[in-house]
Structure 1
Amino acid sequence: MLIGGKIVDKVDAGKKQAKKIDWLIFGISGGAILLFVLSSLINIDAVSTFVNVSFAWSVKWFGSLWQLLMFITFVVALVLAFSKYGSVRLVKTKPEFSNFKWVAMIMCALLSGGAVFWSAAEPMLHFLNTPPAYAGIKGGTEAAVAPALAISYLHWGYLAWGIFGTVSSIVLMHAAYEKGLPLKPRTLLYPVLGEKGVYGPLGKITDAFSILAVAAGTIGPIGFLALQMSFGLKELFGISDGYSTQVMIIMGVAVIHFLAAISSLEKGIQVLSNFNIKLSILLGACVLVLGPGGFVIDSLMNGFGLYTQDFVRISLFRGDNNWIGSWTLFYWGWFIGYGPLMAVFIARISKGRTIRELIIAVAIIVPIATNIWFTVLGGSGMFYELQNPGIISNALKATGEQAALFTIIRQIPLNSILAPVFLLLVVSFIATTGTGMTYTIAMVISGDETPSNFVRVFWAIMMDIVAAILLKIGGVSALQRWIVFSAVPVAIVLIPMIWAGPMTAMKMYKKQKLENDTSPSLKEDTLGSKV
């Protein structure tokens, strides 16, 4: 990397302090989690009220801002990717991971238990109860299939992924790897407040709130997993589906998180991510071949066509506030909260990539793959419901969203084999989420790319405990409300990335163009490689 001596010194100085835990950040973020746990033990009703009130306040005052932030961020990222600035290389080095492993790690860091849970449930719920953006279409009919998928694609598509590691990662990688600033959320303050902002009190507060937000976003999928697995165990083995079973599942997850936390990045996240993606592809293919493959493919084309046609309209839709709060803004709060820590994680694994590679992978390839996954599971559910009304919807009404996946799988031939494998996939996905996010949290607190195992274990255990508390408070709805409130302070940090990302890309482009123009040896190497 072509950096000056001053910057190298700063990087070296940072490495000398890398092994030290920032106890202030750890105290603020960890203390807030401990306070939540203790408050729940003292007065769980008061905690439940706080979660509900904070959710309503967040949706009311920040909902439209979040919608604009998500939409504009994706548009800016897309323009950068396909402009001349897309050729800028983020850190001049050889990529650390192969393309497949790199994309798999990005995808699994967010999808995990959340997408496995919602990929079956969300399309079915929109199919049965047509979203307000498509009011007038009768739910439960063939006409409701494409709108149900289009809204599911909106929530898990381009906008969702665009907020993670596109413009924010560009800013972070430039500041961290060329300016020698910490690879932490606080460094996103650099374009606005400079180094004083990064190293000052506001920087520490930014790190702490970013940790709390991503912890909330990870706690949700842990809870979703417990609900889904509890139902699955009942269906497969007749085990009681109740809170005690859910707590036992979370305890099992805690053991997995503990073991993953004491392993290295390569042995943990990379191995789990590769396994998850390959198993997902295998299971998806089995569902297509054994299930309604033709219907699923037709639904994918129709749903994606409608999504593309109505993209701007449904992205900025502001009709039914209650529905938007329960669906779109729940997701946007979740994903915005993940934003800074995901940018750190993606920056850590994306050295040597160009801006174009980064944005196409994160904001285009991964969303399309996600949409296909949703169509395979959700589309299959809609097919069986159309053929036999009530066969899926009755379980949803009786039990809730957690019943969707295994009720759908039960309709497919060889379900006695597929269902346990899907159960394994759910466990593996959530293990990846816990591993990836506790690793990133610990990296922020420790300031090291090989962070403290103590910090990783602490956060893994605390997130599992909070998930159990939220399930006690109110199941899925409590998990959703907890996630949304945490995004409020984080959104403020991400707003400047809309212009800071392009400005950073322009600076890097000019610098790299100047270096190429004044380096004969580099030009000779480039010509030689082309020959």
Structure 2
Amino acid sequence: MSDLSNRMHASTNKIASEHTRTDTSKSTSEKLGLDNPAFWYSGGFIALFVAIAVFDADLLSTLVNTGFAWSVKIFGPYWQMLLLLTFLIGLGLAAGRTGKVILGGLAEPEIDGFRWMAIIFCTLLAGGGVFWAAAEPIAHFVSPPPLYGPQENPQQGAVNALSQSFMHWGFLAWAIVGSLTSIVVMHLHYDKGLPLKPRTLLYPVLGERALKGHTGAIIDACCIIAVAAGTIGPIGFLGLQVSYALNALFDIPDGFTTQLIIILFAIALYTLSALSGLNRGMQMLSRYNVILAMALMVYVLIFGPTNFIFNAYIQGVGSMLDNFIPMATYRGDEGWLSWWTVFFWGWFLGYGPMMAIFIARISRGRTIRQIITTISIVAPFVTCFWFTIVGGSGLAFEIADPGSVSKAFEGFNLPGALLAVTQQLPLPMLTSILFLILTTIFIVTTGDSMTYTISVVVSGETEPNPVIRTFWGVMMGVTALILISLGSGGISALQSFIVITAVPVSLILLPSLWNAPQIAMKMAKAQGL
């Protein structure tokens, strides 16, 4: 092991010294990423999207809806197979001798286990995991998924609703955002010295062409646009949803001024956190947010419908495992799929390459088994339990008093569903406020990690210039503000656009299905396993 450790440290020192040499020779424009065509492609595209939204919202809506319909129809079946294969191949690598392979050129992990898991949970679960946790189970309870159909027994209907929600936020969703792709990126970056950029994922297929010129820049730009769209959306939703909740709780006007203040506060928080780097702001925010989430889970478990939560979790997970392949491959109702399964797959796919880079950055010294079991197994089970705590409580309240949650959810009102749940718990005002704080910090941790990762890709630095971090942080927040100022149409157009961006990104992720196993086997041999 000491020999392996020495080889790893030598390799890391070599990369670090090469990085330092290039660092000192870089001009200011290079450090800011202004010489990188990916900056202009991605920034220009986002600016064009906003300009069309401002000047001709109807045109944007037509373009986006056409693109959305085409994307889900043509690519929906491919995405379903891509996610399923990514998860299954990852499990195979973790279970075999390749699971012992240490990634990142360090013999020991850089970040301790709790903080590492806290960052992963907060970044990937994001704010969606709070509002959707309350809203999705009640949505499936009111309108049963086609695979299950209507149920005479409301308890069984509740289990089926949770099972479908587990499918969307469970194994496949987590696996695509950082299992196989992380293996490819970590090997090519830390062992081969290739850049920490999405283009590196296509190096085994395209060779040097992927790293240089406009081909590499377009690959990076597609991934930046996808992850920016996927982050701008939740920032916008945060403004709309917290504004709604403040109005319901304190009669604060639910208008653009309130939304503006909330989003400006979020921008300030996540930009400062991104500026402070991985070892300070991001770790601190993630740690406190996980502690708050755990405290709320315990509180709801004790004072909420405890028996229902445990029974629904066990039965819901059992039902999800029993129907895992049928749900993963379901193609019976394409209209339903396009607004549920395929919509979520598009959203998570968009995060894939950039999350691989982020996980590669925080996971040095971890084994393939640790990364895959944490991301593809542990995190999904915890997420499912979280959905049962929040959404399961809502279902229990709805069964006991029909309409107590479903009425608040009418019109697809996500924050309405969450408040309908928290208002039926003891200390409803305090519980509601804590859930809003939790949501805000979840979205802030997603904002800061994506701001940091985009800055890494654009600048080519593992510690990007503060100016470029601030630019991307502020730009994403301001874009969200412009879109919500146009009314619900702006954010809903962005929501559908997220799925369109998944088309090129899903093609970038495809080669990892065979490249990750090849790399893992080669590294197992090199490490004498």
TM-score range, shorter chain: over 0.9
Secondary structure in structure 2 of the residue aligned to 1:165? coil
Aligned residue number for residue 221 of structure 2: 208
From 32, 37, 51, give the equivalent of 1:21: 32
1:309 to 2:309 alignment: no
1:163 to 2:198 alignment: no
Aligned residue number for residue 414 of structure 1: 427
From 140, 146, 160, give the equivalent of 1:147: 160
Matches of 2:49 and 2:508, distance apart in 1: 24
Q: Which runs of 5+ in 1 are unaligned?
A: 517-531
* Cα offsets for 1:83-130 (capped at 9, x unmatched): 011111103422111111101111111212111121111111111110
Secondary structure in structure 2 of the residue aligned to 1:367? helix
1:334 to 2:311 alignment: no
CA distance change for structure 1 residues 8 and 262 in 2, over 3 Å: closer, same or farther?
closer
CA distance change for structure 1 residues 136 and 116 in 2, over 3 Å: closer, same or farther?
closer
Pairwise CA distance, 1:34: 1.5
TM-score by length of 2: 0.93
Matches of 2:476 and 2:40, distance apart in 1: 16
Matches of 2:190 and 2:308, distance apart in 1: 48
1:95 to 2:77 alignment: no
Pairwise CA distance, 1:276: 1.0
Pairwise CA distance, 1:280: 0.1
The range that moved more, 252-261 or 272-281, is 252-261
Aligned residue number for residue 259 of structure 2: 246
Aligned residue number for residue 140 of structure 2: 126
CA distance change for structure 1 residues 387 and 473 in 2, over 3 Å: closer, same or farther?
closer
Aligned residue number for residue 370 of structure 2: 357
Pairwise CA distance, 1:256: 2.1
Pairwise CA distance, 1:502: 0.1
Matches of 1:132 and 1:69, distance apart in 2: 22
Matches of 1:4 and 1:397, distance apart in 2: 55
Secondary structure in structure 1 of the residue aligned to 2:31? coil
1:379 to 2:388 alignment: no
1:488 to 2:503 alignment: yes
Q: How does 1:251-270 map to 2 (within 5 A)?
A: 251-270=264-283
User: 1:101·1:270 contact (CA, 8 Å) conserved in 2?
Assistant: yes
Q: Output the amino acid matched with 1:110.
A: L
Pairwise CA distance, 1:294: 1.0
Pairwise CA distance, 1:13: 5.0
Matches of 1:240 and 1:4, distance apart in 2: 55
Pairwise CA distance, 1:467: 2.2
Q: Output the amino acid matched with 2:149.
A: A
Q: Output the amino acid matched with 1:498.
A: L
From 462, 465, 478, give the equivalent of 2:493: 478
Q: How does 1:457-476 map to 2 (within 5 A)?
A: 457-471=470-484, 472-474=487-489
User: 1:11·1:181 contact (CA, 8 Å) conserved in 2?
Assistant: no
Q: Output the amino acid matched with 1:29.
A: S
Pairwise CA distance, 1:227: 2.5
Pairwise CA distance, 1:244: 4.3
* Cα offsets for 1:130-170 (capped at 9, x unmatched): 011112435x9222111111111111111001111111110
User: 1:216·1:482 contact (CA, 8 Å) conserved in 2?
Assistant: yes
Matches of 1:12 and 1:171, distance apart in 2: 24
Pairwise CA distance, 1:12: 5.1
Pairwise CA distance, 1:476: 6.3
User: 1:114·1:224 contact (CA, 8 Å) conserved in 2?
Assistant: no
Q: Output the amino acid matched with 2:497.
A: W
CA distance change for structure 1 residues 14 and 328 in 2, over 3 Å: closer, same or farther?
farther
The range that moved more, 397-406 or 167-176, is 397-406
* Cα offsets for 1:46-70 (capped at 9, x unmatched): 2222222221121111111111100
Secondary structure in structure 1 of the residue aligned to 2:352? helix
User: 1:70·1:160 contact (CA, 8 Å) conserved in 2?
Assistant: yes
Pairwise CA distance, 1:406: 1.2
From 19, 34, 47, give the equivalent of 1:34: 47
From 460, 463, 468, give the equivalent of 1:455: 468
* Cα offsets for 1:64-86 (capped at 9, x unmatched): 11111000000000000000111
Matches of 2:169 and 2:86, distance apart in 1: 15
User: 2:423·2:432 contact (CA, 8 Å) conserved in 1?
Assistant: yes
Q: Output the amino acid matched with 2:216.
A: G
User: 1:330·1:480 contact (CA, 8 Å) conserved in 2?
Assistant: no
Pairwise CA distance, 1:475: 6.8
Aligned residue number for residue 529 of structure 1: none
TM-score by length of 1: 0.92
* Cα offsets for 1:22-53 (capped at 9, x unmatched): 32111111111122222222222222222222
User: 1:210·1:340 contact (CA, 8 Å) conserved in 2?
Assistant: yes
* Cα offsets for 1:221-244 (capped at 9, x unmatched): 112222221221012211123444
Matches of 1:196 and 1:433, distance apart in 2: 31
The range that moved more, 384-393 or 458-467, is 458-467
Matches of 2:277 and 2:465, distance apart in 1: 11
Matches of 2:91 and 2:193, distance apart in 1: 27
CA distance change for structure 1 residues 323 and 14 in 2, over 3 Å: closer, same or farther?
farther
Aligned residue number for residue 114 of structure 1: 128
CA distance change for structure 1 residues 185 and 501 in 2, over 3 Å: closer, same or farther?
same
User: 1:150·1:307 contact (CA, 8 Å) conserved in 2?
Assistant: yes
CA distance change for structure 1 residues 424 and 212 in 2, over 3 Å: closer, same or farther?
same
Matches of 1:142 and 1:456, distance apart in 2: 49
Pairwise CA distance, 1:10: 5.2
Aligned residue number for residue 508 of structure 1: 523
From 239, 250, 273, give the equivalent of 1:237: 250
Matches of 2:87 and 2:388, distance apart in 1: 23
Matches of 2:498 and 2:318, distance apart in 1: 31
User: 2:41·2:221 contact (CA, 8 Å) conserved in 1?
Assistant: yes
Aligned residue number for residue 284 of structure 1: 297
Secondary structure in structure 2 of the residue aligned to 1:353? coil
Matches of 1:226 and 1:56, distance apart in 2: 27
1:179 to 2:192 alignment: yes
Q: How does 1:49-88 map to 2 (within 5 A)?
A: 49-88=62-101
Matches of 2:12 and 2:120, distance apart in 1: 31
Pairwise CA distance, 1:245: 3.0
Pairwise CA distance, 1:266: 1.7
Matches of 2:39 and 2:147, distance apart in 1: 43
* Cα offsets for 1:245-293 (capped at 9, x unmatched): 3333223222223322332222221111101111000011111111111
Aligned residue number for residue 4 of structure 2: none
User: 1:223·1:479 contact (CA, 8 Å) conserved in 2?
Assistant: no
Q: Output the amino acid matched with 1:460.
A: G
Q: Output the amino acid matched with 2:123.
A: A
The range that moved more, 18-27 or 147-156, is 18-27
Aligned residue number for residue 321 of structure 1: 334
Q: Output the amino acid matched with 1:506.
A: M
1:225 to 2:238 alignment: yes
Q: Output the amino acid matched with 1:497.
A: S
Pairwise CA distance, 1:318: 0.6
Matches of 1:62 and 1:261, distance apart in 2: 34
From 285, 292, 295, give the equivalent of 1:272: 285
